[in-house]
């Protein structure tokens, strides 16, 4: 039975929904659910019986309740994909499409295995991308924290010692003294301004125009923007390949990519591609008009379209660009780390030098006296 993903069936009662939202299901727990379902189905268990057995042996309350709701839906005549659509904490809309294709093609265990593979590989790519950006951010935060600490805690002691000795501080120390006094005097206003600015930014991002500007900035930011584009391309190609491998059409498979790009501009481009194919355009021409995939990928997809072998081309593209993304992330980390270390080290060194110079001058004067 086909399901309408644009108009999903009725969901649970409001009280049950509120309880369900409060108890989110961890990814690891849902992955174990899928593996258990595959095992039961491959050993010959009926779908309804397999879900009930997994619910009985599972100890996670939210997952147990979700499985019971799915079992009741299936017992009432719903398909597995329709029941899964009512449990958004377990299955995304794209995964429901894969499940529906698996039901129609009588290869539901394979569709479940595809979902497991997509989740695991998607998590791995996100982890690599996050780690590549997290370490530079940590360096910046530590460097700024050390700078503020020296300006607020150490510098006032040095200034007091200079005042008592009557030695005039050098120009660099005077600049640091001015910054220190500004931080000590206006720290509450700076904190309030930072919180206010974050609120304004959050409010702007909640509007369609603000979100589009932010998504455009993410795509165009130097260095990181190119990595972000590669990350989107890999996620989209992998989802597209898995969808077609599960029996979905080209248009349906491209539509499933909207759920993994997390970028309004890219989503709009994918919608345009689908509309152009609906209007009679070829896949290659539709993709060539939009900056979603590299030109080499579009060329290979054109060849796959001509030879009616798009799934094989997609698999090769996923393997190629996945390896390329890993290589570029490693290279980015190898380049950005020493650059940030040099910048942060220079900042700290200049502050330390400005602190030690008057102390050295004071000791020299004391020795001459």
pTM, two decimals, is: 0.66
Q: Is residue 112 part of a domain?
A: no
The CATH number covering residue 324 comes to: 1.20.81.30
Same-domain status, 180 and 222: yes
Residue 200's pLDDT is 87
Q: Is residue 346 part of a domain?
A: yes
Residue 290's pLDDT is 84
**What is the spatial distance between Cα 91 and Cα 280, in angstroms, rounded to a whole number?**
32
Query: Averaged over 242-264, what is the pLDDT?
Result: 82
Model confidence at 291: pLDDT above 80: yes
Q: Of the ranges 95-109, 156-170, 174-188, which one carries the lowest mean pLDDT score?
A: 156-170
Q: Of the ranges 63-72, 98-107, 220-229, which one carries the lowest mean pLDDT score?
A: 98-107
Q: Model confidence over 337-352: pLDDT tens digits?
A: 788 788 878 877 888 7
Same-domain status, 227 and 359: yes
Same-domain status, 131 and 50: no
Residue 24's pLDDT is 63
Q: Is residue 282 part of a domain?
A: yes
What is the residue-wise DSSP string for 156-205?
HHHHHHHHHHTPPPPHHHHHHHHHHHHHHHHHHHHHHHHHHHHHHHHHHH
Query: Averaged over 349-368, what is the pLDDT?
Result: 72
Q: Is residue 159 part of a domain?
A: yes
Q: Which of 96, 119, 97, 101 is nearest to 29 (CA)?
A: 119
Same-domain status, 277 and 223: yes
Residue 187's pLDDT is 81
Same-domain status, 62 and 166: no
Model confidence at 204: pLDDT above 60: yes
Same-domain status, 130 and 52: no
Residue 354's pLDDT is 78
Is the Cβ–Cβ distance between 143 and 344 less than 8 Å? yes
Percent of the chain at pLDDT > 70 equals: 90
Model confidence at 23: pLDDT above 70: no
Same-domain status, 25 and 172: no
Same-domain status, 200 and 256: yes
Q: Is residue 9 part of a domain?
A: no
Look up the domain containing 319 and give its range: 120-363
Q: Is residue 3 part of a domain?
A: no
Residue 12's pLDDT is 39
Q: Is residue 134 part of a domain?
A: yes
Domains held by the chain: number: 2
């Amino acid at each position: 039975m086909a399901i309408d993903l644009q108009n999903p069936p009725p969901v649970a009662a409001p009280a049950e929904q509120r309880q369900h939202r409060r108890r989110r299901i961890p990814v690891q727990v849902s992955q174990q659910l899928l593996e258990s379902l595959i095992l039961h189905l491959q050993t010959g268990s009926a779908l309804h019986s397999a879900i009930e057995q997994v619910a009985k042996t599972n100890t996670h309350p939210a997952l147990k309740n979700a499985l019971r709701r799915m079992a009741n839906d299936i017992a009432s005549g719903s398909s597995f994909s329709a029941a899964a659509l009512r449990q958004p904490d377990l299955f995304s809309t794209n995964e429901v499409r894969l499940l529906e294709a698996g039901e129609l093609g009588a290869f539901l265990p394979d569709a479940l295995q595809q979902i497991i593979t997509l989740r695991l590989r998607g998590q791995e790519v996100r982890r690599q991308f996050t780690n590549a950006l997290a370490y530079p951010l940590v360096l910046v935060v530590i460097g700024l924290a050390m700078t503020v600490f020296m300006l607020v805690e150490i510098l006032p002691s040095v200034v007091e010692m200079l005042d008592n000795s009557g030695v005039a501080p050098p120009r660099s120390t005077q600049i640091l003294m001015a910054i220190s006094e500004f931080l000590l005097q206006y720290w509450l206003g700076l904190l309030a301004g930072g919180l206010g600015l974050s609120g304004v930014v959050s409010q702007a991002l909640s509007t369609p125009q603000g979100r589009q500007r932010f998504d455009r900035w993410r795509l165009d930011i130097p260095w990181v923007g190119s990595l972000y584009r590669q990350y989107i391309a890999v996620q989209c190609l992998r989802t597209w390949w898995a969808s077609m491998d599960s029996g979905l059409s080209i248009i349906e498979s491209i539509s499933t990519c909207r759920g993994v790009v997390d970028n309004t501009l890219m989503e709009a481009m994918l919608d345009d591609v689908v509309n152009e194919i609906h209007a009679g355009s070829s896949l290659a021409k539709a993709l060539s008009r939009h900056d979603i995939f590299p030109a080499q990928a579009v060329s290979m997809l054109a060849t796959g379209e001509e030879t009616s072998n798009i799934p094989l081309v997609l698999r090769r593209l996923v393997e190629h660009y996945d390896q390329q993304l890993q290589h570029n992330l490693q290279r980015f980390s190898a380049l950005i780390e020493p650059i940030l270390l040099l910048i942060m080290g220079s900042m700290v060194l200049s502050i330390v030098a400005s602190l030690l110079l008057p102390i050295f001058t004071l000791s020299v004067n004391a020795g001459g006296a």
